Amino acid sequence: MPLAINTTLTISCEASEEQSGPTIVHSTGVGDYRVQPEVIRILQESCTNEKLCDHEKGVQCVDPPAHILDAFQNAGFEVTAATTSGSRKLWILTKTSEGGANPTPSGNDAADQGDEEDEEEEEEEEE
């Protein structure tokens, strides 16, 4: 499923780990998912699945933020803000063009997306 025309992500890490990671891509409130499946696809293309794991605040990658930021910038995101909050460094990324998905009014997207993720996992297991 393509990302909506206006998609915003928050990425963070401990300020002391900015050069080494890990990095968290924060939850975007998508039902039944930590983050949108398309965001996971971007992460999977730039990192290996072994480097990704669920985190209580989203999805964590062991790579440093610079790598994750590059991956999202290559996918059409732009860093619109960067700040420090407490001990965490935060980046806000926004994508304002391409991949405009029309949301389904019924809200059944989550079920459909789960099937797509299962198919992707099966394909990876076959390789």
When divided into structural domains, the chain yields a total of 1
Residue reference for tokens 């499923």: 1
Instruction: Quote the pTM value.
Output: 0.66
Confidence bin at 120 (pLDDT 50/70/90): very low
Q: How do residues 28-69 score in pLDDT, each as one tens digit?
A: 655 555 677 888 888 888 888 888 877 888 888 989 999 999
Q: Is residue 104 part of a domain?
A: yes
Q: Is 7 exposed, middle or buried (0-12, 13-18, 19+ CB in 10 A)?
A: buried
Show the DSSP H helices in the chain as ranges.
37-46, 65-74, 109-126
Residues 91-120 have a mean pLDDT of 51
SS3 content of the chain, % helix, strand, coil (to 5): 35, 30, 35
Q: What is the pLDDT of residue 3?
A: 55
Token pair of 2, please? 């393509």
Q: Is residue 53 part of a domain?
A: yes
More confident residue, 77 or 96: 77
* Domain coverage including residue 89: 7-118
Query: Which CATH number does the domain housing residue 93 bear?
Result: 3.30.1410.10
Per-chain mean pLDDT for the chain: 74
Dihedral angle computed from the Cα positions of residues 35, 81, 49 and 127, in that order, rounded to the nearest 10 degrees: 90
Q: Is residue 127 part of a domain?
A: no
Q: Is residue 77 part of a domain?
A: yes
